[in-house]
A and B are shown apart, each in its own frame.
Chain A
Amino acid sequence: DTVLTQSPALAVSPGERVSISCRASEGVNSYMHWYQQKPGQQPKLLIYKASNLASGVPARFSGSGSGTDFTLTIDPVEADDTATYFCQQSWNDPFTFGSGTKLEIK
């Protein structure tokens, strides 16, 4: 299976820029998607196919990357962005998720 590696946690202050990384154990072309999950809620799609903003998602969120290295960027960060962020690939079988990066807003 394709393993997606994310750093476990980050802490930033409001107004700053934060980059959350996801590294795949093998190439996934551009088929990397990003989700936000707040406590007690279901995940929500933020970015699809590496760099496409999902409907209704603020332009503060952006994605980049291809192949094995991908980044989700939030700029500027707001207090409401406190959540866990997951990457997910849909290029290799089976589809897999990263273990998530917990973002704390100081």
Chain B
Amino acid sequence: QVSLKESGPGILQPFQTLSLTCSFSGFSLGTSNMGVGWIRQTSGKGLEYLATIWWDDDKYFNPSLNSRLTVSKDTSNNQAFLKITSVDTADTGTYYCTLTTVVTGFAYWGQGTLVTVSS
């Protein structure tokens, strides 16, 4: 069965870089048409799509955050990664990684990791 779990720093200060890891099982990012999508939920904007990394290493970013986002993967170890540079308080929220395909949307979600940006 598919399972995903996010891990991150919990708390960080403004202007720092947020690094998140998604560890998953039950699928491989080496399989065609599979992707890991990143979504966050904030009090200000609700659910917000951030980025996707695909099985072929293609990447897609929300243009509103494009310049701040980096996604990568470690297919052998079933992990995906998200980095957001220069965070501020508006980046406070719960961050989810998901299994996504073109057809099914965000089919499976991790439990989420709470990130708080505070000085």
Contacts and interface: CB of A to CB of B under 8 A. Distances in A.
A33 B105 contact: yes
A88 B110 CA distance: 17
Interface residues of B, number: 19
Contacts of A88: 47, 49, 105-106
Given A42-B96, A94-B62, A48 B47 contact: no
A4 to B, nearest CB: 10
Contacts, number: 54
Contacts of A5: none
Interface residues of A, number: 22
Nearest to B6: A42
A48 B105 contact: yes
A33 B103 CA distance: 10
Given A93-B63, A94-B63, A43 B47 contact: yes
Interface of A: 1, 31, 33, 35, 41-45, 48-49, 54, 86, 88, 90, 93-97, 99-100
Interface of B: 46-49, 62-64, 96, 102-112
